[in-house]
Chain A
Amino acid sequence: MVNTGFVLSWIDYLIMIIYFVFVIGIGWALKKYMKDANAFLEAGRAMPAWVAGLAFISTNLGALEVMGMTGSGLKYGMLTTHFYWVGAIPAMVFLAIFMMPFYYGSKARSVPEYLKLRYDEKTRGLNAGLFALMTILASGISMYALAILMQKVLGWNFHLSLVLSAAIVLGYTYLGGLSSAIYNEVLQFFIILIGLLPVVLLSLKDVGGWHGLQQSLAPIVTAKGFAPDAWTTTWKYTGSSTSNPMGVEWYGIFAGLGFVLSFGYWCTNFLIVQRAMSAKSTTAARNTPLIGAIPKMFIPFLLIVPGIVALVLLNSPGKNFSLPLNDAGQPIYDYTIIMLLKQYLPAGVLGLGVTALLASFMSGMAGNVSAFNTVWTYDIYQSYIRPTTGDKAGDDRHYLKVGRMATIFGVVLSIAAAYLASLFGNIMDFLQTIFSMVNAPLFAVIFLGMFWKKATGHAAFTGLLLGFAIALLHHGLTYPLGANTLVKGGWICHLHAYPVEMAQNFWTAIFACSASAVLTVVLSYLTVQKKPDEELKGLVYSLTPRLSEESVPWYRRSVTLAIIVLVMVSILTILFW
């Protein structure tokens, strides 16, 4: 057992305390503006694009991402950048240019509400219910991971860490609602960036820069049976699934990650879309994902590159670097970033690095809680429990109170979910698989809804359910090689084996999305469109007047920004081909 414990000194704790004072302080400063449900749950739709844009990627820069991506860097090398350059970025550009005008312009307050306006009540109900359940579980999982981390790294009590972190998140989201979550996400973004930067620079310097890294990797990687540069290239070895560590061919990456998984995540997940919906104007809402895309494409250098360095360190006995092992004797790859912090950072910046990790956990949690309270208040409570009355001012006060209660309720349920996760270690993997099963069909349904006016409510509802069923079936029939639990798949029979788990995930999503799309199209032809064209205005592409950006100077137009983003990401792809 490797000792993961850090020795933190007074300066490290002081940095942490200063950070948390600011976090709570921002919530406190916003308290007086929280006069109605709109201010609390939608941030009054007043955010500047750069604030919404940084919050947009910061919500996603949760700890599971920070820890997971560094671990993946170690396992798969630069191939992990596919999650960014072919995954996230194209999806973010698509969301910005093609989907945001409908989400924002429809005046829907949430993604489920868009489904209600475009399709019908049952489609909204299904999505809202699933979303509420999933966000609570996700926030519980991230709380659990945080408490485990604090226990192992800081030696704090598990229960105390759980309650304390929940209390901080509850504190600032209860006080300032979505605005507070968003402003804090911006703060978190900068602290994560500056907190992890020393690790990147020091670890690279230690192995002699990028070229030194390539040279040191060659013998290690060849011993594993791959080409010497397999860890430092992205597309070069994707011709066959056996010549790259990820075990996926280029078309699997392109369709699974680049299309279905990323579009399913970035374009339909209300947690993410909510940030752009809080922007102050349609142009700002469209620019939000694009502004977020610029730092997003450089995050691989912050997270993945240190992970690759860790592979070299693991194979250099003189460096005294090792990863902690789990009960089965396997290294815990997710702890790579923590071991790197310990390896390189002296007191002072170490506190900053630990604060960055804590910040990333909290941004994930607060994002989930602030999305949960909106969906709960608008899509569940207001639709099924207490609809609006004629009294506008009374309603506003009432729903603000409900939103606040939902925040407390959400945090308490998350704590319960965290304990659930601590009981079943495997449930975390299982739930993440389930999440991707729900998102892939949702993308098919929303996409058809936005671009095809014939898609009907019955078809969408059935498409969602069937897509999920197909995903489940695929997961039951196939399994990744070396899987030892049924959670990883193959619980019906072993029809097909994938070389790695990731390949299986990609194909699950591809099947789910295509099945859902085909069924929705077929059923739309068989059922009657109950919504007249008039009602679909602003919700469907062909019935919505084109957005004119002529009043906006060319350098601020979404299309200009989108082209810049795509050119930048193409250059990065070519550089690291």
Chain B
Amino acid sequence: MGIDIKIPIGLMFTILGLLLTVYGFFTRLDSTLYERSLGINVNLWSGLLMLFFGLIMMFFGLLSRKSKSS
């Protein structure tokens, strides 16, 4: 129906992923922040995972849009 959900999902996870990656990168030296997460920079890792997932969704979304229009 109308829209291809892969594109909004991809877009949202790309944005959230970028946000968390950047936040994780700038807070990487803040050991009190990551004390709870056993010293792991969980923002950076989650961010990268979401970014990766978002880009894959976008890729497939754009791929099927292209094959539909041609």
* B8 interface neighbour in A26, A198, A205, A349, Cβ under 8 Å: A26
Is the pair A349, B38 in contact by a Cβ cutoff of 8 Å? no
Is the pair B8, A25 in contact by a Cβ cutoff of 8 Å? yes
Kindly state the separation between the CA atoms of A30 and B16 in the bound complex, as whole angstroms. 23
Q: 8 Å CB contacts to B: which residues of A20-49?
A: 22, 25-26, 29-30, 32-33, 39, 43-44, 46-47
B36 lies within 8 A of chain A by Cβ: yes
Is the pair A346, B20 in contact by a Cβ cutoff of 8 Å? no
**Best-buried of B2, B8, B53 by chain A (most CB within 10 Å):** B2
Q: List the A side residues contacting B46 at CB < 8 Å.
A: 194, 197-198, 348-349, 352
Chain A residue with Cβ nearest B30: A346
* A18 interface neighbour in B19, B34, B40, B42, Cβ under 8 Å: B19
Q: List the A side residues contacting B13 at CB < 8 Å.
A: 190, 194
CB distance from B56 to the nearest CB of A (A): 12
Kindly state the separation between the CA atoms of A197 and B42 in the bound complex, as whole angstroms. 11
Q: List the B side residues contacting A343 at CB < 8 Å.
A: 36
Q: 8 Å CB contacts to A: which residues of B20-70?
A: 20, 23-24, 27, 33-34, 36-38, 40, 42-43, 45-46, 49-50, 53
Chain B residue with Cβ nearest A33: B2
**Best-buried of B1, B9, B38 by chain A (most CB within 10 Å):** B1
Q: List the B side residues contacting A346 at CB < 8 Å.
A: 33-34, 36-37, 42-43
Is the pair A26, B19 in contact by a Cβ cutoff of 8 Å? no
Given contact pairs A46-B1, A187-B9, A346-B33, A11 touches B23 in the complex (Cβ within 8 A): yes
Q: List the B side residues contacting A186 at CB < 8 Å.
A: 5, 9
CB distance from B27 to the nearest CB of A (A): 8
Is the pair B37, A187 in contact by a Cβ cutoff of 8 Å? no
Q: List the A side residues contacting B34 at CB < 8 Å.
A: 346
Chain A residue with Cβ nearest B33: A346
Kindly state the separation between the CA atoms of A115 and B37 in the bound complex, as whole angstroms. 53
A344 lies within 8 A of chain B by Cβ: yes
Is the pair B50, A33 in contact by a Cβ cutoff of 8 Å? no
Given contact pairs A30-B1, A43-B1, A194-B46, A187 touches B12 in the complex (Cβ within 8 A): yes
Interface of B is mostly: helix
Is the pair B1, A349 in contact by a Cβ cutoff of 8 Å? no
Is the pair A18, B2 in contact by a Cβ cutoff of 8 Å? no
Q: 8 Å CB contacts to B: which residues of A333-353?
A: 343-349, 352
Q: 8 Å CB contacts to B: which residues of A172-194?
A: 179, 183, 186-187, 190, 194
Given contact pairs A22-B12, A186-B9, A187-B12, A30 touches B19 in the complex (Cβ within 8 A): no
Is the pair A15, B37 in contact by a Cβ cutoff of 8 Å? no
Binary contact readout A206-226 vs B (1 if CB under 8 angstroms, 0 otherwise): 100000000000000000000
* A51 interface neighbour in B5, B12, B15, B19, Cβ under 8 Å: B5
Chain B residue with Cβ nearest A347: B33
Q: List the A side residues contacting B40 at CB < 8 Å.
A: 202, 205
Q: List the B side residues contacting A26 at CB < 8 Å.
A: 3, 5, 8
Is the pair A190, B42 in contact by a Cβ cutoff of 8 Å? no
Kindly state the separation between the CA atoms of A22 and B54 in the bound complex, as whole angstroms. 14
Kindly state the separation between the CA atoms of A33 and B45 in the bound complex, as whole angstroms. 39
A14 lies within 8 A of chain B by Cβ: yes
CB distance from B60 to the nearest CB of A (A): 11
Kindly state the separation between the CA atoms of A39 and B1 in the bound complex, as whole angstroms. 8
CB distance from A392 to the nearest CB of B (A): 21
A435 lies within 8 A of chain B by Cβ: no
Kindly state the separation between the CA atoms of A51 and B11 in the bound complex, as whole angstroms. 17
* A19 interface neighbour in B12, B33, B36, B38, Cβ under 8 Å: B12
Is the pair B16, A18 in contact by a Cβ cutoff of 8 Å? yes
Is the pair B1, A44 in contact by a Cβ cutoff of 8 Å? yes
Is the pair B9, A190 in contact by a Cβ cutoff of 8 Å? yes
Is the pair B19, A22 in contact by a Cβ cutoff of 8 Å? no
Is the pair A349, B20 in contact by a Cβ cutoff of 8 Å? yes
Given contact pairs A14-B19, A33-B2, A190-B53, A345 touches B42 in the complex (Cβ within 8 A): yes
Kindly state the separation between the CA atoms of A29 and B11 in the bound complex, as whole angstroms. 14
CB distance from B29 to the nearest CB of A (A): 13
Kindly state the separation between the CA atoms of A30 and B37 in the bound complex, as whole angstroms. 40
CB distance from B42 to the nearest CB of A (A): 5
Given contact pairs A344-B37, A352-B20, A202 touches B42 in the complex (Cβ within 8 A): yes
Kindly state the separation between the CA atoms of A187 and B50 in the bound complex, as whole angstroms. 13
* B38 interface neighbour in A25, A33, A206, Cβ under 8 Å: A206
Is the pair A179, B1 in contact by a Cβ cutoff of 8 Å? yes
Kindly state the separation between the CA atoms of A23 and B36 in the bound complex, as whole angstroms. 30
Is the pair B5, A187 in contact by a Cβ cutoff of 8 Å? yes
Given contact pairs A348-B20, A352-B20, A18 touches B8 in the complex (Cβ within 8 A): no
Q: List the A side residues contacting B2 at CB < 8 Å.
A: 29-30, 32-33, 179
CB distance from B49 to the nearest CB of A (A): 7
Given contact pairs A194-B49, A349-B46, A22 touches B8 in the complex (Cβ within 8 A): yes
Is the pair B23, A183 in contact by a Cβ cutoff of 8 Å? no
Is the pair B23, A345 in contact by a Cβ cutoff of 8 Å? no
Q: 8 Å CB contacts to B: which residues of A204-253?
A: 205-206
Kindly state the separation between the CA atoms of A146 and B8 in the bound complex, as whole angstroms. 26
Q: List the B side residues contacting A14 at CB < 8 Å.
A: 19
Given contact pairs A194-B50, A343-B36, A349 touches B43 in the complex (Cβ within 8 A): yes
Q: List 8 A-B contacts (CB under 8 A).
A: A15-B19, A18-B15, A22-B12, A26-B3, A183-B8, A206-B38, A345-B36, A352-B16
Binding site for B on A (CB under 8 A): 11, 14-15, 18-19, 22, 25-26, 29-30, 32-33, 39, 43-44, 46-47, 51, 179, 183, 186-187, 190, 194, 197-198, 202, 205-206, 343-349, 352
**A-B complex: 10 closest residue pairs judged by Cβ atoms:** A348-B43, A33-B2, A179-B1, A22-B12, A183-B5, A346-B33, A46-B1, A198-B42, A44-B1, A349-B46
Q: Besides A30-B1, A206-B38, 16 other CB < 8 A contacts?
A: A14-B19, A22-B8, A25-B8, A30-B2, A43-B1, A47-B1, A51-B5, A183-B8, A186-B9, A187-B9, A194-B53, A198-B45, A344-B37, A346-B42, A348-B24, A349-B43
